[in-house]
Structure 1
Amino acid sequence: MRLDSAGDEALPAFAPALAMEAPIPNADSSVWSVPLRQGVTFHDGTPFDGADVVATYNAVLDPGSASEIASAFAMIAEVSSSRTATGETVTFTLAYPYADFPSRLLLAIAPSERLTGGPAAESSLNREPVGTGPYRLSELTADRAVFTANPHYWAGPPQVSKVTTVYLPDDNSRVQRVAAGEFDGTILPPALARTFTSKPGFGIESAHSADWRGVSLPADVAFTRDPQVRLALNHAVDRQAMVDTVLAGYGEVAHTPVSAVYGDAFDPAAVFPYDVDKARSLLAGAGWSPGPDGVLVKGTDRAAFTVAFRPTDSVRRDLATAFAADMMRVGVEVTLAGLDFDKIEPRVRDLGILLGGGDKPFSLDTQVYAALHSPLPGTALWDNPGQFSTPARDAALDQARRTLDPERRTSLYRQVQADYLTDPSYVFLVFLEHTYAVRDSTWQRAPVTIEPHSHGVNWGPWWNVASWTR
């Protein structure tokens, strides 16, 4: 399936891509049948068929691949394909009924011959990708990739014949090169994107997202292990100020990973009002009192912990700085550390981390399950690294993904949010609105879409470049 967006104010629909039509569930949504499109070829000229779908899903589920997305497909018990005189069908047999299964059919399919086993990180597909999409990789260096139109694309070759992407991590360098005419556009932090409002021939475009930023709280620090402390920290944060300053207004406050885009399942009452007095009262009630330097203490423990953030990400840096300032107002000392994730990983239990999430936002289950559920076997390290949850929350999340009745699922997700208000595991801060500087052009473009955590030049105005027309 592929995304079919009418704009970034609501979740996109799913449209058939390599499927011939929408997936067909059995009576209890535990078996899903997907008729396949015929006559599709991969970029290397080999034919696409059901064996490729089966091999791709099995590769993700194979523990030997160490796939970081495997937990999102844990409901799949078996994948098989069958052929009749009228075509081919892939059948997904699930371990339990799962109404949101179409969201799991957004996975890109690789040729079975290229899925040779072993760790996904070592696959040749990382450097030599082969797919069925509208563009194929024709050139790759350490900082540049060139994609050319696939003349055999099943929906017809795109009118934009070549797309070049350049890896340039420094924000200011990208600003200069876009302004100089070297690039047609780029992703930028909101404050830098706004500098293009007065540049002739350029504009700012933005896209709403389910991409949250928040602080995970360390499991092995006595201070943050206390649920009352975690509740107090949530009330001590001025989220709106972060939206207004760090995001220059391009974003929304986040109290949980559930945003208004999820409709009735979003509970507008699930908020932690900014209330410094309440935060101080909760901390005092948990036994924390001011020490000689103003930092709260409880016996030999100090109200202090370190928050790590990726140093090349200015938005994370600035959010972490604002968070630390808010914490100091209530007597909590937050030390900031700019660290790459390979340095954070071995210290995940004793560091707070300025994290981003919402990497699979097109189903509410994948938006919240890994972030809020107690870690399960195969769960990615960055999913709920503090490992805080409650039995009630876990039960509601488990029931919601197995429940077919949409009203019952809505009720369960509201229960999750209500439970989270009593025992939070993070301090969620904001939902980003991704901002892009774009050169004016004569291309006619389709609407943007709600964006996931992963974003950049493969999203924003260019996410559907294959559909552009003149």
Structure 2
Amino acid sequence: MTHSKPTNWTARDDAMVESAIRRGASRRDLLKMLMGSGIAVGAGGSLLMSASRAVAQTPKTGGHLKAAGWSASTADTLDPAKASLSTDYTRCCAIYNRLTFLNEAGEVEMELAEAVDSDDAKTWNVKLRPGVTFHDGKTLSSADVVFTLKRHLDPDVGSKVNSIASQMAEIEAVDDLNVKIVLSEPNADLPTILSLHHFMIVADGTTDFAKGNGTGAFKVEEFEPGVRSILVKNPDYFKESGPYLDSFEYFAIPDNNARVNALLSGDIHLAAAVNARSLRMMEGQPNVETMISTSGNYTNLNIRLDLDPGAKAGFIEGMKHLVRREQIQKSVLRGMAEIGNDQPVSPANRYHNSELQPKAYDPEKAKALFEKAGLLGQTIPIVASDAANASIDMATVVQQAGAEIGMTFDVQRVPSDGYWSNYWLKSPVHFGNINPRPTPDILFSLLYHSEAPWNESQYKSDKFDSMLVEARGLLDETKRTDMYWEMQEMVANEAGTIIPTYISNVDGMAKELKGMRPNPLGGQMGYAFAEYVWLDA
């Protein structure tokens, strides 16, 4: 007897099941997931057999992959707590694992954890998978999870998610495979939070992160910050499938055209985050494919509220009326973007405030505001770099609009090398490039809370801070949505961050590179591609 797929079964459901299998989910876990979707046990078993065959038949094992990102720095790190660039995320995803993982459908799956449960969204129990080992042979235990999470609370560590982790009031081992986490306030998003790149689990007592001792699919063979890394397959990986590659090399080619040319010439298999203008270069090339995803990535113009000219009343509002968003969308990004409304929660997120309209292009209003601020006619530097995707072209659009009303903007193009450490967060007017995050709470905590580590415009509001704490603990979805909508309005109207568009990410791939899928955490499968792709040579 055979079982057909339920009438409400979709291709997305197929992808979810296959993804779960690739991530090492047990048959029991998969059947529970299917029954939770209303699938009968018999039909579920048939679906699992079909999905398992698809997973087993498709990938090929072996080969060395070469991939190029767009930014690197001598500050590159294998310490997940300090990771800040895509190159950091990519390496950490290959070397370590998280307790949970977001699949392509944006749903939480278990990874190092077998379960993350709570009755009140405040006290949580994390049950670990048994038998998982680190690269050095050490067995994963609750002590590693406690050590990892407590590191984020230590100010001397400099964790990039300290403000998020600070809600963990108590972290303690119950036994070797169970950890209790008590939050200062309820937060229903904790399983999603634990899927962030920074919460990769490291071994208890780790001080030397250059070795990259994780539980992940690859081991570190070579790592030279700002230059390259070579990682080799972990033969003792705990998941039943993957990784498929024998090894992979990762480095940065900051210049977009050079990155694309390296792909076209066959020197690399993956060119990450290529400029939309490069699509024409790749079109019609028989050996090249693209993956396009819009998950909330954006390049933004940041104006610090605590420095001139941003400290002058009216300047930031004037700038918001001077940005030609449609021109940036259509000309700079070749249509590979959606119009932004100056806050970080994109249309891909269910909490996006769809009624919040962006400031209209109004050069005369901008001129009046600049004049009121006493800045009309002055020269205002704007720092841009290839490190921030399309920022130079965006700066040129602003410069041209300013010239039409007598406002002079000096676009200062600086090198990619050192941009994130020397200019981002520091220059009075500069560009950022923010990777997708799965919840408003994470975005606001990282970027707009008064003590946020990446508070790009130095926005500070006691009201916003208190609303952030209240919203994260709400179980009433209607009220929570209302609060997030109001907070998006506050950011759009009060902060000094201008988000013209939400950019579609384009990864260029050699045709023999298989297995790439979109992910809500960004391009390159949320930077976790190395574990799941294969070469069909």
TM-score by length of 1: 0.82
| 1:110 aligns with one of 202, 215, 220 | 202
Residue 62 of structure 1: aligned partner: 154
Kindly provide the CA deviation profile for residues 411-435 of structure 1, in whole angstroms up to 9, marking residues without a partner as x. 0011112334443422222222111
Where 1:48 maps in the other structure, the secondary structure is: coil
Quote how far apart the aligned CAs of 1:215 are.
1.3
Q: Residue 274 in 1 paired to residue 274 in 2?
A: no
Give the Å deviation of 1:321.
2.0
Q: How high is the sequence identity, in percent, across the aligned residues?
A: 21
Matched position secondary structure for 1:296: coil
Q: Find the counterpart in structure 2 of residue 30 from structure 1.
A: 122
Matches for 1:195-274 after TM superposition, within 5 Å:
195-255=281-341, 256-274=343-361
Report the alpha carbon displacement of residue 130 of structure 1 after superposing the two structures with TM: 1.2
Cα displacement (A) at 1:314:
6.0
* In structure 1, distance between residues paired with 2:526 and 2:485: 30
Alpha-carbon distance in structure 2 between the residues aligned to 1:140 and 1:287: 50
Match of 2:511 in 1: 440
Offset of residue 227 of structure 1 = 4.7
CA deviation after TM superposition for structure 1 residue 197, in Å? 0.9
Change (3 A) 1:327 1:2: farther
- Range with bigger deviation, 269-278 or 48-57: 269-278
Q: 3-state DSSP class of the match of 2:506?
A: strand
Paired AA for residue 14 in structure 1: V
Partner of 1:88: 177
Gap regions ≥5 residues in structure 1: 117-123, 289-294
CA distance in 2, matches of 1:438, 1:311: 21
Q: 1:316 to 1:421 in 2, by over 3 A?
A: closer
**Aligned mate of 1:428, from 486, 489, 499:** 499
CA distance 1:150–1:430, change in 2 (3 Å): same
The one-letter code sitting in structure 1 at the alignment partner of 2:423 is: I
User: In structure 2, what is the Cα distance between the partners aligned to 1:418 and 1:312?
Assistant: 29
Partners of 2:317 and 2:388 lie apart in 1 by: 27
Preserved contact between residue 36 and residue 89 of structure 1 (Cα < 8 Å): yes
Aligned residue runs from structure 1 range 158-173, under 5 A: 158=242, 160-167=244-251, 168-173=253-258
| Alignment equivalent of 2:110, drawn from 1, 13, 16 | 16
Contact 2:345 2:443 in 1 (8 A): yes
Contact 1:56 1:109 in 2 (8 A): yes
Equivalent residue letter for 1:260: P
User: Are the structure 2 counterparts of residues 398 and 323 from structure 1 closer, same or farther at C-alpha, using a change threshold of 3 Å?
Assistant: farther
8 A Cα contact 1:73 1:104, kept in partner: no
Number of residue pairs matched? Answer: 427
C-alpha deviation, 1:148, in angstroms: 2.6
Secondary structure in structure 1 of the residue aligned to 2:297:
strand
C-alpha distance in structure 2 between counterparts of 1:50 and 1:232, whole Å:
53
1:117-136 to 2 correspondences below 5 Å: 124-125=208-209, 127-136=210-219
Give the partner amino acid of 2:303.
L
Distance 1:467 1:2 in 2: 20
Question: Are the equivalent residues in 1 in contact too, given 2:219–2:234 (CA < 8 A)?
Answer: yes
Conserved? CA contact 1:193–1:436, under 8 Å: no
Distance change (3 Å), C-alpha of 1:369 and 1:64 = closer
RMSD over aligned Cα, in angstroms? 2.7
Paired residue type of 1:24: D
- The C-alpha deviation readout for 1:387-423, integer Å capped at 9, x for no partner, is 2344443333332223232221110011112334443
Report the CA distance between 1:15 and its aligned residue.
Answer: 0.4
Deviation at 1:47, TM superposition (A): 0.3
Q: 2:469 matched to 1:398? A: yes
Shift of 1:265: 4.1
Residue 98 (structure 1) shift: 1.5
1:182 corresponds to which residue? 267
Q: Which amino acid aligns with 1:140?
A: F
1:81-111 C-alpha deviation (Å, 9 max, x unpaired): 112xxx7211111111112111221221011
Change (3 A) 1:287 1:250: closer
Determine the structure 1 residue equivalent to 2:10: none
Summarize the alignment of residues 279-290 of structure 1 with structure 2, pairs less than 5 Å apart: 279-283=366-370, 286=372, 288=374
Tell me, what secondary structure is at the counterpart of 1:224?
A: coil
After TM superposition, the score normalised by the length of structure 2 is: 0.73
Q: Distance in 2 between matches of 1:464 and 1:198?
A: 26
What code does the residue aligned with 1:406 have? Answer: E
Cα 1:330–1:414 change in 2 (3 A) is: farther
Change (3 A) 1:316 1:272: same
In structure 2, runs of 5+ residues without a counterpart are: 1-98
Kindly provide the amino acid, as one letter, of the partner of residue 117 in structure 2: I
Question: 1:289-328 maps to which residues of 2 (within 5 A)?
Answer: 296=376, 302=378, 304-313=379-388, 315-328=390-403
